[in-house]
Chains A and B, each alone.
Chain A
Amino acid sequence: MNIKQMIVQNNERRKLLEPHNLAAYEDALVYIRLNGRSEHSTESILLELLEHLIEAQRHGKTAKDVFGDDLRAYCDSLVAAIPHQSKLSWVFDILRYISILLGSLFAVHTVFQLLADFFPTLRVEQISLVPHLVIIGLGAIEIFVLLVAMRAFVFGRNSGFILAGVTNLAAIAVYVIATVLFRDVWAVPVHFWSFLAVTLLMFGMAHLFKRISGRMNQTTASF
């Protein structure tokens, strides 16, 4: 089974759980999925846990009987045992993320170029590449903070989102400052068609990287 099939099956089989068991299982599901380990192994063990819980439920047992009183501690012990993603597939995931980010930025530039035909005040002659490189690093930090915030939120702490919000504002500030400060450094002339081409290229590459990374996880899986 590939990852997509396992997720579909999980969604389907989950309907068999009673409300209190479902609530506990879904907390565990979200928390375990946000771990950054091998996606294939993660989905496989989640499906196994689900089938176990369904069978336990049939024998009159609850999620507490299966996972113990401390669900978070149980999830942590499970995550620690899930294999890491292969290093190479990490590289492709990061390349994919960079492509999407740059693709989105260039999409905005492209739209502005189009609008500039009607609203001449929007016209710019050149843009600097520096803020675009800066935002790749900032975006990575932002994603990391959000991940931590979401994991904490599963078991009832939402203070992480305040941190995520502050990080987000700081990232925007740094981006704006970089735009002003490096206006003439590594500047490239703005042209509608070349920007459109870059946008399409970036999204095309993102799609390609996704497929490569997905295939790698498939073949390195333990079964």
Chain B
Amino acid sequence: MDSQSQMLKGLLEGCILSIICEKEVYGYELSEKLHEAGLTMVKEGSIYPVLLRLQKNGWIEGTIKPSVAGPDRKYYRLTVKGEQALQAFDDSWEQLSRAIAYLRGSLR
């Protein structure tokens, strides 16, 4: 595993929470949104272990709904606990990116 994907692993949870916070999505839709955002290095399938972990934490909930196209789809929605987790993620990301920006600015 290269350093980029190591770093990505921790951030993927936060990215997924952000997307689900916007609107309820199902798996394929979620992977497309990640791709559109530029996270092209994320393999589509790798969202599912993350989704399972987020459900286990009680941060998201899934509901099965029939779709217009035919198949049943499992839509994910953020829970109250999930909103708090996303807030915590935002805060630590803010702090981290400020620190990195400061270090890069002062070292150059």
Residue ranges of A at the interface with B (Cβ–Cβ < 8 Å): 1, 9, 13, 41, 44-45, 47-49, 51-52, 54-56, 61, 65-68, 74, 77-78, 80-83, 222-223
Within 8 A of A (CB), among B54-97: 55-56, 61-64, 71-74
The reply to whether A66 and B55 contact each other, CB–CB distance below 8 Å, is: no
B53 at the interface (CB under 8 A from A): yes
A44: chain B residues at CB < 8 Å are 74
Which one, B49, B61, B72, B73, contacts A80 given CB within 8 A?
B49
B74: chain A residues at CB < 8 Å are 44, 48, 223
A82 to B49, CA, bound (A): 8
The B interface is mostly helix, strand or loop, or mixed, namely helix
In the complex formed, the residue of A with least CB distance to B55 is A222
B61: chain A residues at CB < 8 Å are 222-223
CB distance from A53 to the nearest CB of B (A): 9
Tell whether A68 pairs with B52 under 8 Å between CB atoms, given A51-B28, A52-B27, A56-B28: no
Size range of the interface on B? 20 to 34
The reply to whether B45 and A68 contact each other, CB–CB distance below 8 Å, is: yes
The A interface is mostly helix, strand or loop, or mixed, namely helix
Which one, A74, A82, A223, contacts B64 given CB within 8 A?
A223
Q: Which of A51, A52, A56, A77 has the most CB of B within 10 A?
A: A52
